[in-house]
Amino acid sequence: MAASYENESENRFNGNSFSIPFQEIPRFPKSDKRVNELISCKEPVIVTGSDLVGSASHWSLDYLAENIGDGTFNVYKSASRKFKYYSDKKMQAVHEFAPPTQLLEMRFQEFMKLIRSKTNTNSERIYLQQALNNSVGPNIVHEFVNFNWAWASEQQQGNSWGQLTSNLLLVGMPGNVTPVHYDEQENLFAQIRGSKRFLLFHPDQFENLYPYPVHHPHDRQSQVDLENPDYEQFPNVRNLHGYEGVVGPGDVLYIPMYWWHQVESCPDSEENISVNFWYMAGSVEKIEHPLSAQQKVAMSRNIEKMCLEALGDPSEVAPFMKMLVLGRYT
């Protein structure tokens, strides 16, 4: 049974006529027993005082430029506020796919100069998104080693997550938006500098968020623009409801696997720095029915992939699935 500690509230999204009912993401100090209850129920929670990345609380653009080393970093460039993820590997699958952002590789010093030159936020924007690796300098290694790994491991082991896959470092500008998507990993998202506003949606909102097909470069992303939804094309958006919360320096947000999230860097700071902790899914010991929404998303992804592979042509998937169910299971 899911834990529930919400404050019911209704918000208007960015002043649009469209209103999504949001409730607040629960927020508790690390020592509160509801933190572990929520995480074990695969429900989001903002955890305060975990000290997960306390050793990095002094990180700033200047400090990183001086200490992060000579490695190269992935920096995305966008003509709008949005940085919608796409998979390079799936680009060939869609004829004339136009990537919405451009990937640049550069050293951190160069990134710092570029971000500081972007004073007019209506023009082109950039967003550094790079997994921390062993090219970082000794001070960063020291701070990394001093992350609160004891607490992270307590969550990993207590909830039977798989191994840590990466720590993504995100350095961006106020107003940058990562549009609504889900990941196939558990996420402890730690904020270091500036704040981020999160919109979260339960995996049971799948049909209200219309994800792209799995073969598409935008797999796992919603086709819906939450700031300007097209109701004709996506009528179920009217049924959407979610959670909202702001994470500030020192806060950690648990984003359960398959939960949809949209992230906006708040205007409170010129420098926005975060590090996430991505963990693989744990192994499922016992299947219980009815299946959870998470399990159904995983299952639908597998069925979709199998159909695509067997049929060999994405345009055959819809007629095949209709033939399978219409008049038989309907």
Which residues of the shown chain bind ligand AKG in the complex (CB under 6 A)?
170, 178, 183, 187, 189, 196, 261, 263, 274, 276
Residue 234 or 254: the one with the smaller Cβ distance to ligand AKG is 254
User: What secondary structure does DSSP assign to 229-283, as a single string?
Assistant: --TTT-GGGGG--EEEEEE-TT-EEEE-TT-EEEEEE-TT-S-EEEEEEEEPPPP
CB of 191 to ligand AKG, least distance (A): 9
CB of 221 to ligand AKG, least distance (A): 10
CA atoms of 169 and 42, how far apart (whole Å): 24
CB of 246 to ligand AKG, least distance (A): 13
CB of 222 to ligand AKG, least distance (A): 12
Nearest residue to ligand AKG by CB is 178
Residue 155 or 276: the one with the smaller Cβ distance to ligand AKG is 276
Residue 221 or 317: the one with the smaller Cβ distance to ligand AKG is 221
Residue 66 or 183: the one with the smaller Cβ distance to ligand AKG is 183
Convert 201-212 into a string of H (helix), E (strand) and C (coil): ECHHHHHHHCEC
Residue 279 or 307: the one with the smaller Cβ distance to ligand AKG is 279
Q: Are 195 and 172 in contact (CB under 8 A)?
A: no
CB of 263 to ligand AKG, least distance (A): 4
3-state SS assignment for residue 152: helix
Q: Hunting for tokens 């693989």 — which residue is that?
A: 280
CA atoms of 199 and 202, how far apart (whole Å): 10
Q: Give the N- to C-terminal CA distance of the chain in Å, as an integer.
A: 29
CA atoms of 212 and 264, how far apart (whole Å): 21
CB of 127 to ligand AKG, least distance (A): 7
Residue 199 or 307: the one with the smaller Cβ distance to ligand AKG is 199
